[in-house]
A and B are shown apart, each in its own frame.
Chain A
Amino acid sequence: MSFQVMLQQLSSGMLNTMGIFFLTLLFSLPLGLLIAFGRMSKNKIISGFISVIISILRGTPLMLQLMVWYFFPFYLFGWSISGWRFPAVIVGFSINYAAYFAEIYRSGIEAIPKGQYEAGQILGYSKVQSFFKIILPQVIKIILPSITNEVITLVKDTSLAFSITYIEMFTLAKQIAASETSMMPFVISAVFYYIFNAIVAFVMGRLEKKMSYYS
């Protein structure tokens, strides 16, 4: 198999990997904020429940969580799981990353001085306005470095989708390497992950710079 063909075959895996990456961010970033609200709820039952969920999501391997998401409809309800593979990957990744993002949001929200809320209240902002106009922009600036770390981890974590044999970059590279007895697919995928991450780091760096207009 020529290098060209190998690259061509791998490229569908690359697309799938990027699909996992972007869809996970799309769902987990807002979901994480919701979970953070639950975690900070004044209602002890809600906040206790959420904190248990967060600790389970952060305390068990993502690979295992993916398997659970993939197989549970079958084992619990006897449903067919054909066609569920990709959704299961996205659900598993999104919920897992949302748990990490939730704790990051929470630390950021708790770092905002009480006076900011009080100033908003005195000026007549509604709670929602206060949060989205005054608090959240400051939170984002504070948490951006931690978010960057998670996003870079996510690029590498996408390869865990192989555990439920979802055809992403890494799954494909393994298959081709085995059939062609070649290291090349691994080299190509390493280069791909590396470049992908370099781009992510660059973009996040630009974002951080953009947020540094005030101190």
Chain B
Amino acid sequence: MSSEANTSSIQQRVYFEMNNIKKSFGDLQVLNDISISVQEGDVLSIIGPSGSGKSTLLRIATMLETMDYGDMSYMGEKAVSVVDGKSVYAKPARLKEIKKNFGLVFQNFNLFPHYTVLKNITDAPISVQKRDKTEVEAEAMELLRKMGLEDKADAYPSQLSGGQQQRVAIARALALKPNVLFFDEPTSALDPELTGEVLKVIKSLAEQHMTMVIVTHEMNFAKNISDRVVFMDKGVVALSGSPEEVFGSDNERMREFLGKVSH
């Protein structure tokens, strides 16, 4: 068997997939027939103008919001299926299991202000996953070390800069060992001089083949780190493909969007 045949026969597994998603808020149709999928170890960036529905898409993917129509699965397991033309969510017990597959990093961190940095990271593994405390704490310290925050374990979130808080939030998400990690504009709430430290952490996760879906306004970052890019506009996927394909496209809406963000 040639090595070429060998590589092509290793099928990358689809970790996350959503198809034909529709969502309206009242009369406002925010998502109109959106489909995306992410394969094992891939980074998918979602870009697009404000109000195009990117956050709504992530909120549906992470089940903070329900969809009106469509199906969705993690690791091949259906969280939502279309039955008789209607979307049906899996039973609560099953959904609870499926939810263990993903994590979400919020734009404004949403750390727990009354917990120390260490407890922010360890509490869910200990009290939700019922894992051993010493083991979890050791892992958390290792995560903090990777984030360059080992000296902040006993600090409270309010004592940290935005960039540090976001790195703690990433560590908190990673501590649960998700298969897919979603980010909603992880650097948008940060001062420009602090975005770099957070992007660096995400980049190193990409190098370790963490499967990620990242909504971002950082075009250079998206171009450099992504395996695939989706350009959303007015609730539809206007373009998708490799970074070269999407950023090099002469699609009019894309060119117009790039013109706006680069200024």
Contact = CB atoms under 8 A, between A and B. Distances in A.
Chain B interface mostly: loop
A119 B62 CA distance: 11
Given A123-B172, A124-B176, A213-B156, A129 B110 contact: no
A137 B114 CA distance: 8
A129 B158 contact: no
Contacts of B221: none
Contacts of B156: 213-215
Contacts of B32: none
Contacts of A133: 123, 127
Interface string B102-132: 0110101011111000000001100111000
Contacts of B173: 122
Interface residues of B, number: 25
Nearest to A115: B110
A138 B114 CA distance: 7
Contacts of A138: 113-114
A134 interface: yes
Interface in B190-206: none
Nearest to B102: A122
A123 B100 CA distance: 8
Contacts of A122: 62, 64, 103-104, 173
Contacts of A119: 106, 110-112
A189 B157 CA distance: 48
A42 to B, nearest CB: 16
Contacts of A121: 64
A138 B113 CA distance: 8
A118 B106 contact: yes
A208 to B, nearest CB: 14
A86 interface: no
23 contacts: A113-B110, A115-B106, A115-B108, A116-B110, A118-B106, A118-B110, A119-B112, A122-B64, A122-B103, A122-B104, A123-B128, A123-B172, A123-B176, A124-B96, A124-B99, A125-B124, A129-B127, A137-B114, A138-B114, A213-B156, A214-B113, A214-B157, A215-B113
Interface of B: 62, 64, 96, 99-100, 103-104, 106, 108, 110-114, 123-124, 127-129, 156-158, 172-173, 176
Interface of A: 113, 115-116, 118-119, 121-125, 129, 133-134, 137-138, 141, 213-215
